[in-house]
Amino acid sequence: MRGASNIGYLNQLLALAGWTSLWWLHSLKQPTLVIMDKDDPIVALVNGCILAGLIPNSRIHVMECGHLFIAAKPKETAEVSRPGAINRQTITNRRPLNQLHTA
């Protein structure tokens, strides 16, 4: 099996850099939980705030354990993700960024 060609790799990078879901997030109907980390070195918290702000009926939960919160805090992640926990442990997307609850 051969690896990707340089042109194929370049095309993948261009597609990734130019694609966004922002234009259709408003059409999501299901309740959505966005879990982010306060100091994630890979995905900034503001990205999760944008998602939660654009997805109707969404909530954001902010953790403090790095990018791999599922591995670092599996019990807390499971508790937050449990059906029914969304109203108790997360915040609505209507609060200002400076009022985010951190776990």
Task: Summarize pLDDT for 42-100 with one digit per residue, the tens.
Answer: 889 999 999 999 999 898 999 988 888 888 899 988 888 887 665 544 444 444 444 44
Taking the model in full, what pTM does it have?
0.64
- Sheet containing 58-63: order of strands: 32-37, 58-63, 91-92
From residue 30, alpha-carbon distances to 25, 57, 68, 80, 94 in Å are 11, 7, 25, 17, 17
Task: Summarize pLDDT for 48-62 with one digit per residue, the tens.
Answer: 999 999 999 898 999
